[in-house]
């Protein structure tokens, strides 16, 4: 698919950019390779490990709506946010690592936090199914097929607790989805999102290299510190 | 199966965080057999906090990689006694540690001395505002120890962890640029203050112009290479912006695993056992003497009994209260009758402040470190600030010079900005560099309803009842933070930003969901007499005198200051009394 080719190009490009720009000081520099031949660059594998086709369609439509392609970044799918969510669901977080899962399960107050008997991955799947059911009933189509204005109305309704989903707390589902979208936009690229560190470039976050004992003196006059960002893979 | 009984030791220390590390280091040279039982695993800078892996916001911030595992043990929470408490199924509001170093490896390093403004709080308010000023449902108490008695032990802690700061009061003489309201110190901080950021400098200027007294926040990040009194080395802070919630790769954050713990372990008689989860303190038939502890090797599941002459509870505050309740030491607090004391006076802190947005400057929020910033005490330790006008007890600090710019969590936008889409992205790109926050942190006074008890329903992985927290903010707390947030607005205006956004209003009550602070206090409070307190000033149980309790559990109320300064000082203070008095003649020290 042309889409895949684009993604691959982007990744290869990212590797070259990353390799060309490693002007960092301090002990960290000793660990970072001075240059990497392009042949050593392994693009993050695309493809889904966990989400089913209908879920993939929902997630791609969602991340492209929340992170549309514009002058700042390519679309959410193209920067790997859908893959990030897939990996998050299939990984330890999605499977409920560190989640207290003993019953009885009861609905509490908002201040008591998460109380469902679902792992995050299960919650994702239930929420997607319930969202699609709602969208079909209201707009006649699944979420990925409705118009941008309808998507906007649906997401805003969920966020404001104005829309109720069958069997799933909508606001909590929205909060989890929103959190993972932000993670996919801004987490280190080793997790599959934030490809080419576009999220970091968008705001000017320099990533993991941070020997700033000198910079804190130099950059306290209101001028921005600018550097080619580095991720964990660039320094490993 | 009965637990396997181990050969006896002289002293068992439960938990290897700050307090446990101090106890082990101070008691190690006695040559007595000491077993330190830590529920989590070992930790080293090299293997656990290495670059680049430690600089992973997803793993350590979002997924709380260094903190306690709520799948094994958590608590139940509710705002009111009338509600049913439900489990905190994942971490949120606070983030206690698990593993060698405890919360001390991922703390922020703000290191305060709590002085008589806190330690003699009840006497002060009664004298100044009258007895009737203190509400009947506020069990406000003087601590059993005063600042003069603790001062040398604060110094010990500061010269162990390393603190970068500027003294405000040296031997009674006020020092320009320091905190004029602090208790008199015999010695200055071990190191000069951290390099100020633009945000620190702007706050210092604006707050001074408005008439306040800002000073550099006391920081357990080394402003220069430094060697502590035990010969342990700290590297210079690199302002990497991965401090709070992360371990420090350059050993510049004062942490137990690079200071007290390696020194303690030089003593052959100190035996650190990791993955050893203490379930309770064992008592003899009289219930007045501890015979040791029961613990589980969490790697094998085996139950072990460790006999000991002396038991020191050095878990985190919540863990210590939990262990006292599980062991039946002291009379549990009953919030309905207000009788009993173990679990009473649970306190927290309250947050407020404003965010400022500037179009014409960049704050480089990622060039930063945990305690960086300027802070002021004019509404907190300043006793000239007349509380009667707003009717409050306690106070709040105001600070600016944010701790990080990690973008999953830090991408501020002005109110009304869409939260997704191109407009969101443009606003994020525009304001990431230009936003800065004045943070208000308020004290929380005890309330008769706020308490820690055992949960009747939910159990931990070992089948023991969870700790149940009943907590909400009360009127005094809201007034304290409301006043401070208003004042933050006044200072913000003096800096002339494009937009000032007020912090979210917190009248909706305490929620377990968003992170606030890991500054939980109380539940095993100290006092001058048994009955109204759980322990004496040395942390010694009134009921079982061969059990000592460290941590912020012994604090009768919470300050606006972070708690670890007095946790450390009190651990040194108690260790000194144990070494020089208790071990020579076991029995009540008071
Ligand atoms: C994100 C964060 C930021 C913070 N920032 C600051 C700050 O800037 N300034 C400040 O003053 N404080 C700060 N704190 C709080 C500070 O970390 C604690 O006050 C301090 O570590 C408390 O020391 P402690 O020895 O009482 O407990 P800890 O350091 O938490 O150590 C307790 C240890 O006991 C172990 N343990 C508990 N129960 C058991 C059991 N049953 N059996 C065996 N072992 C057990 C735990 O695993 C842990 O290792 C922060 C905390 C966090 C989480």
Which tens digit of pLDDT belongs to each residue from B509-547? 999 999 999 999 999 999 999 999 999 999 999 999 999
Pairwise CA distance, residues B455 & A107, whole Å: 17
Residue A190: its H or E element = none
Q: Express as a percent the part of chain B with pLDDT over 70.
A: 99
Could you tell which of B518, B520, B549 is best to mutate to test the pocket of ligand 1, judged by most ligand atoms within 8 Å of the CB? B518
State residue A36's pLDDT score. 47
Query: What is the per-residue pLDDT across A132-172, written as a single tens digit (0 to 9) for each?
Result: 999 999 999 999 999 999 999 999 999 999 999 999 999 99
Nearest CA in chain B to A116: B89
Strands (E), A14-63: none
- The beta-carbon neighbor of A188 closest among B56, B78, B201 is B56
Structure tokens belonging to residue A145 = 């097929």
**Which residues of B are part of the catalytic machinery?**
519
Spatial CB neighbours of B300, under 8 Å, sequence gap ≥ 6: none
- The beta-carbon neighbor of B58 closest among A26, A65, A183 is A183
Structure tokens belonging to residue A100 = 């207290």
Model confidence at B507, in pLDDT bands (50, 70, 90)? confident
Spatial CB neighbours of B285, under 8 Å, sequence gap ≥ 6: none
Q: Hey, are the CB atoms on B240 and A211 less than 8 Å from each other? A: yes
Give the N- to C-terminal CA distance of chain B in Å, as an integer. 40
Using the mean position of ligand 1's atoms as its centre, give its distance from the Cα of residue B316 in Å.
5
In order of B93, B495, B584, the CA distances from B438 in angstroms are 20, 11, 51
Using the mean position of ligand 1's atoms as its centre, give its distance from the Cα of residue B183 in Å.
25
Pairwise CA distance, residues A75 & A15, whole Å: 19
CATH topology of domain B4-48+66-582: FAD/NAD(P)-binding domain (3.50.50)
Nearest residue to B474 via CA among B449, B452, B439, B453: B449
Pairwise CA distance, residues B390 & B372, whole Å: 31
Crossing angle, helix A81-90 and helix A170-186, to 10 degrees? 120
- Check if the beta carbon of residue B451 is closer than 8 Å to that of residue B335: yes
Please check the confidence at residue A128 and state whether its pLDDT lies above 80.
yes
- Check if the beta carbon of residue A181 is closer than 8 Å to that of residue A194: no
Model confidence at A27, in pLDDT bands (50, 70, 90)? very low
Task: Report ipTM for this prediction.
Answer: 0.96
Query: What is the per-residue pLDDT across B294-318, written as a single tens digit (0 to 9) for each?
Result: 999 999 999 999 999 999 999 999 9
Q: Express as a percent the part of chain B with pLDDT over 90.
A: 98
Quickly list DSSP for B356-396: EE-SS----TTSB-TT-SEEE-TTTT-TTS-GGGTT-SS-E
- Check if the beta carbon of residue B370 is closer than 8 Å to that of residue B163: no
Pocket of ligand 1 (CB under 6 A): B 14-20, 37-40, 95-99, 102-104, 106-110, 244-245, 277-278, 314-316, 319, 518, 550-552, 562-564, 567
- Specify burial of residue B572 (Cβ count, 10 A radius: 0-12, 13-18, 19+): buried
β-sheet bridge partners, residue A44 = none
**Average pLDDT score over residue span B223-252:** 97
Mutate to test the interface with A, among B61, B194, B226, B408 (most CBs of A within 10 A): B408
- Check if the beta carbon of residue B326 is closer than 8 Å to that of residue B464: yes
Structure tokens belonging to residue B147 = 């600042």
Nearest residue to B520 via CA among B573, B456, B471, B477: B471
**Average pLDDT score over residue span B426-433:** 98
Strands B75-78 and B465-470: parallel
The mean predicted confidence, pLDDT, of chain A is: 86
**Average pLDDT score over residue span B352-372:** 97
Instruction: Spell out the domain ranges in chain A.
Output: 4-32+51-99+112-224
What residues in A contact B404, CB-CB < 8 Å? none
A236 or B66: which leads in pLDDT: B66
Pairwise CA distance, residues B250 & A145, whole Å: 51
User: A 122-141 residues with CB below 8 A of B?
Assistant: none
Residue minimizing CA distance to atom 2 of ligand 1: B107
Nearest residue to B370 via CA among B501, B265, B237, B190: B237
Nearest CA in chain A to B79: A111
Strands B226-227 and B9-14: unpaired
Structure tokens belonging to residue B13 = 């220390």
State residue B506's pLDDT score. 64
Given the structure tokens 């480089």, which residue do they identify?
B364
**CA angle at residue B103 from B99 to B109, to 5 degrees?**
140
- Check if the beta carbon of residue B143 is closer than 8 Å to that of residue B537: yes
Asked if residue A22 has a cis previous peptide bond (ω within 30° of 0), the answer is no
Given the structure tokens 């679902």, which residue do they identify?
A118
Spatial CB neighbours of B295, under 8 Å, sequence gap ≥ 6: B37, B276, B277, B278, B279, B303, B304, B306
Quickly list DSSP for B403-440: S---TTT-----TT--SSHHHHHHHHHHHTTTEEEEEE
Residue A14: its H or E element = helix A2-20
What residues in B contact A73, CB-CB < 8 Å? 425
The mean predicted confidence, pLDDT, of chain B is: 97
Structure tokens belonging to residue B143 = 């601590």
Is the minimum CB–CB distance between A161 and chain B shorter than 8 Å?
A: no
Please check the confidence at residue A33 and state whether its pLDDT lies above 80.
no
State residue A220's pLDDT score. 92
- Check if the beta carbon of residue B164 is closer than 8 Å to that of residue B193: yes
State residue B504's pLDDT score. 66
State residue B582's pLDDT score. 98
In order of B158, B217, B509, the CA distances from B168 in angstroms are 15, 11, 36
Pairwise CA distance, residues B258 & B121, whole Å: 35
Residues in chain A: 236
Please check the confidence at residue B81 and state whether its pLDDT lies above 70.
yes
Coil/strand/helix, residue A160: coil
State residue B128's pLDDT score. 97
Please check the confidence at residue B169 and state whether its pLDDT lies above 50.
yes
Please check the confidence at residue A40 and state whether its pLDDT lies above 90.
no
Please check the confidence at residue A6 and state whether its pLDDT lies above 80.
no
β-sheet bridge partners, residue B11 = B34, B310
- Check if the beta carbon of residue B108 is closer than 8 Å to that of residue B516: no
Spatial CB neighbours of B50, under 8 Å, sequence gap ≥ 6: B249
Pairwise CA distance, residues B555 & B540, whole Å: 13
Q: What is the DSSP letter of B581?
A: I
Cα atoms in the Cβ-side hemisphere of radius 13 Å centred on B115? 16
Query: What is the per-residue pLDDT across B105-157, written as a single tens digit (0 to 9) for each?
Result: 999 999 999 999 999 999 999 999 999 999 999 999 999 999 999 999 999 99
Coil/strand/helix, residue B270: strand
C-beta neighbour count of B203 within 10 angstroms: 29
State residue A46's pLDDT score. 77
Pairwise CA distance, residues B570 & B157, whole Å: 9
State residue A26's pLDDT score. 38
State residue A210's pLDDT score. 78
- Chain A nearest-CA distance from B383, in A, is 34
State residue A23's pLDDT score. 34
- Specify burial of residue A35 (Cβ count, 10 A radius: 0-12, 13-18, 19+): exposed
**Average pLDDT score over residue span A35-43:** 47
Query: Please, what sign has the CA dihedral across residues B319, B324, B326, B327?
Result: positive
Given the structure tokens 């009933």, which residue do they identify?
A137
């Amino acid at each position: 698919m042309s889409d895949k080719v684009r993604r691959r190009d982007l990744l290869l490009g990212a590797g070259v950019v990353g390799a060309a720009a490693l002007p960092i000081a301090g002990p960290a520099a000793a660990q970072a390779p001075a240059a990497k031949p392009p042949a050593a660059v392994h693009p993050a594998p695309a493809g889904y490990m966990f989400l089913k086709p209908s879920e993939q369609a929902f997630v791609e439509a969602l991340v492209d709506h929340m992170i549309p392609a514009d002058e700042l970044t390519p679309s959410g799918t193209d920067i790997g946010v859908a893959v990030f969510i897939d990996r998050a669901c299939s990984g330890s977080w999605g499977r409920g690592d560190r989640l207290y899962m003993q019953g009885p399960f009861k609905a509490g107050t908002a201040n008591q936090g998460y109380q469902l008997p679902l792992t995050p991955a299960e919650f994702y799947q239930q929420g997607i199914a319930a969202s699609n059911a709602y969208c079909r009933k209201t707009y006649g189509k699944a979420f990925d097929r409705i118009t941008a204005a309808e998507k906007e109305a649906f997401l805003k309704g969920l966020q404001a607790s104005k829309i109720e989903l069958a069997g799933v707390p909508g606001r909590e589902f929205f909060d989890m989805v929103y959190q993972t979208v932000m993670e996919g936009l801004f987490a280190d690229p080793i997790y599959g999102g934030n490809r080419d560190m576009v999220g970091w470039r968008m705001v000017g976050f320099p990533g993991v290299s941070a020997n700033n004992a000198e910079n804190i003196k130099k950059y306290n006059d209101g001028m921005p510190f600018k550097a080619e960002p580095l991720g964990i893979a660039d320094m490993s | 199966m009965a637990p396997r009984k181990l050969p006896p030791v002289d002293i068992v220390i439960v938990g290897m965080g700050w307090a446990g590390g101090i106890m082990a280091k101070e008691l190690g040279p006695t040559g007595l057999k000491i077993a330190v039982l830590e529920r989590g695993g070992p930790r080293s800078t090299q293997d656990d906090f290495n670059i680049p892996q430690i600089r992973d916001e997803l793993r350590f911030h979002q997924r709380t990689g260094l903190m306690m595992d709520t799948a094994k043990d958590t608590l139940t929470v509710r705002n009111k006694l009338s509600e049913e408490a439900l489990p905190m199924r994942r971490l949120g509001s606070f983030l206690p540690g698990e593993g060698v170093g405890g919360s001390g490896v991922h703390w922020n390093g703000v290191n305060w001395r709590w002085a008589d403004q806190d330690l003699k709080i009840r006497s002060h308010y009664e004298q100044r505002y009258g007895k009737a000023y203190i509400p009947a449902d506020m069990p406000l108490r003087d601590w059993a120890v005063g600042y003069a008695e603790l001062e040398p032990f604060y110094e010990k802690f500061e010269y162990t962890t390393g603190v970068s700061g500027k003294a405000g009061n040296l031997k009674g003489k006020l020092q320009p640029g320091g905190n004029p309201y602090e208790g008199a110190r015999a010695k200055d901080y071990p190191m000069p203050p951290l390099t100020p950021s633009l945000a620190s400098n702007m706050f210092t200027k604006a707050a001074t112009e408005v008439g306040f007294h800002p000073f550099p926040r006391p920081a357990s990040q080394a402003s220069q290479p430094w060697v502590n009194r035990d010969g342990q080395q700290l590297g210079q802070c690199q302002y990497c912006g991965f401090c709070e919630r992360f371990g420090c790769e350059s050993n510049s954050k004062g942490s137990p695993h690079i200071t007290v713990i390696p020194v303690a372990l030089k003593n052959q008689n100190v035996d650190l056992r990791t993955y050893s989860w203490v379930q309770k303190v064992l008592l003899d038939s009289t219930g007045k003497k501890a015979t040791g502890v029961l613990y589980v090797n969490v790697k094998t599941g085996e139950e072990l009994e460790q006999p000991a002459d002396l038991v020191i509870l050095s878990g985190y505050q919540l863990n210590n209260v939990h262990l006292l309740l599980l062991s039946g030491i002291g009379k549990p607090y009953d919030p309905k009758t207000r009788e009993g004391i173990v679990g009473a006076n649970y306190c927290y802190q309250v947050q407020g402040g404003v965010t400022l947005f500037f179009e014409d400057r960049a704050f480089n929020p990622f060039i930063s470190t945990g305690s960086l910033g300027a802070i002021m005490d004019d509404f907190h330790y300043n006793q000239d600030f007349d509380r009667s006008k707003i009717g409050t007890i306690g106070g709040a600090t105001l600070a600016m010079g944010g701790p990080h710019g990690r973008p999953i969590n830090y991408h501020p936008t002005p109110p009304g900005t869409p939260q997704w889409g191109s407009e969101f992205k443009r606003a994020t790109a525009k304001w990431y560099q230009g936003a800065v926050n004045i943070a208000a942190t308020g004290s929380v006074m005890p309330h008769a309803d706020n308490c820690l008890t055992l949960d009747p329903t939910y159990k931990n992985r070992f089948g023991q009842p969870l700790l149940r927290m009943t907590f909400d903010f009360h009127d005094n707390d809201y007034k304290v933070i409301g006043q401070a947030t208003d004042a933050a607005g006044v200072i913000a205006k003096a800096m002339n930003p494009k937009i000032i956004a007020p912090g979210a209003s917190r009248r909706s009550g305490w929620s377990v969901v968003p992170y606030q602070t890991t500054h939980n206090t109380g539940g095993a409070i100290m006092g001058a007499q048994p009955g109204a307190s759980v322990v004496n000033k040395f942390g010694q149980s009134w009921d079982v005198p061969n059990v000592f309790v460290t941590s912020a559990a012994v604090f009768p109320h919470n300050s606006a200051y972070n708690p670890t300064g007095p946790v450390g000082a009190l651990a040194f203070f108690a260790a000194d009394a144990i070494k020089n008095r208790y071990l020579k003649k076991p029995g009540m020290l008071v």
